[in-house]
A and B are shown apart, each in its own frame.
Chain A
Amino acid sequence: MNPFVKFMASTAGRIVRIVAGLILIALGLLVVHGVGGIVLAIVGLVPLVAGLFDFCVFAPLFGAPLSGPKIRSGK
């Protein structure tokens, strides 16, 4: 299993994704104005939701399953 995917599926990786998502949403809402800000906030929702609901969007690119529990169990 790819070490990057393994890290992202771990609790630390989930926290990183949630924080990254919050930062992107904050940038989109507070720093970048207009359509760009809304797009940035929506992009930020992806890692936030993925971290919260324990799935890894990029894992299939590395041949790993989408589900966080499955990645952690090595299936």
Chain B
Amino acid sequence: MNLDEFLERLHRNPRPVVVDFWAPWCTPCRAVEPVLAEVGADYTLRVDVWKVNADEQPELLRALHLYGIPTLIAFHDGREVGRRTGVSTAPALAGLFASALSGQAPAASTPPLAERLLRLGAGTGLVGLGLWSGPSALGWLILGAGGLLAFTALYDRCPLYRALFVRWRDRFGRQQPC
């Protein structure tokens, strides 16, 4: 199947579609399967799930710029609205189904407040310990780990990160098939 045939089928389908690109030899694909079935059951008759064997459709994979499996792509009216590669959690897959249904790109996943506070607290603690322990290799390591941890609590609020992320996504991110 080439890209045009695939898009034609998508357009003809009356419902939004989540396509699972998998392969029989792919262990992570098997890990995703029960999660996909569980989330997909919540969207029965609202979002269809298609499974495409990556080994049998290399041309389609190239056309979709798909370089790893398992990859799940959400389509709304034949247009790609979201994609996830690798083992995904149920909430992440639910977000993908929701975006297939609404036609909107999935909301950026941000850590919940409790998670932010835990990371920020632990990161600040490690930075404090790193500073307190004096100039040693271990001290610098702890300081760096603490800084990184604190950053993971606030990365989505950092204007520099957001600007770089947008550039990176525009340059290397997914290509719209139509």
Q: Is the CB of A15 within 8 A of B118?
A: yes
Q: Is the CB of B122 within 8 A of A52?
A: yes
Q: Quick one: closest A residue to B117, CB to CB? A: A15
Contact string against A for B residues 109-122, beta-carbon threshold 8 Å, 1 for contact and 0 otherwise: 00000100011011
B144 close to chain A: CB less than 8 A: no
Q: Is the CB of B118 within 8 A of A26?
A: no
A64 close to chain B: CB less than 8 A: no
Q: List residues of chain B with CB within 8 A of the CB of A11.
A: 114
- Within 8 Å by CB of A29, from B119, B121, B129, lies B129
A25 close to chain B: CB less than 8 A: yes
Q: How far is the CA of A25 from the CA of B133 in the complex (A)?
A: 10
A8 close to chain B: CB less than 8 A: no
B139 close to chain A: CB less than 8 A: yes
Chain A binding surface, main DSSP class: helix
- Within 8 Å by CB of B129, from A15, A25, A51, A52, lies A25
Give the interface residue-count category, chain A: 10 to 19
B85 → chain A closest CB, angstroms:
21
Number of chain B residues whose Cβ lies closer than 8 Å to a Cβ of chain A: 14
Contact string against A for B residues 25-39, beta-carbon threshold 8 Å, 1 for contact and 0 otherwise: 000000000000000
Contact string against A for B residues 137-161, beta-carbon threshold 8 Å, 1 for contact and 0 otherwise: 0110010000001000000000000
Q: List residues of chain B with CB within 8 A of the CB of A41.
A: 138, 142
Q: How far is the CA of A30 from the CA of B133 in the complex (A)?
A: 6
Which residue among B132, B138, B139 has the maximum number of chain A CB atoms within 10 Å of its CB?
A: B138
Question: Which residues from 7 to 48 on chain A have a C-beta closer than 8 Å to any C-beta of chain B?
Answer: 11, 14-15, 18, 21-22, 25-26, 29-30, 38, 41, 48
A to B CB contacts below 8 Å, 16 in the list: A11-B114, A14-B118, A25-B142, A26-B129, A26-B132, A29-B132, A29-B139, A29-B142, A30-B129, A30-B132, A30-B133, A41-B142, A48-B122, A51-B118, A51-B122, A52-B119
6 closest A-B pairs by CB: A29-B133, A22-B125, A18-B122, A26-B129, A29-B129, A52-B122
Chain A: residues with CB nearer than 8 A to chain B?
11, 14-15, 18, 21-22, 25-26, 29-30, 38, 41, 48, 51-52
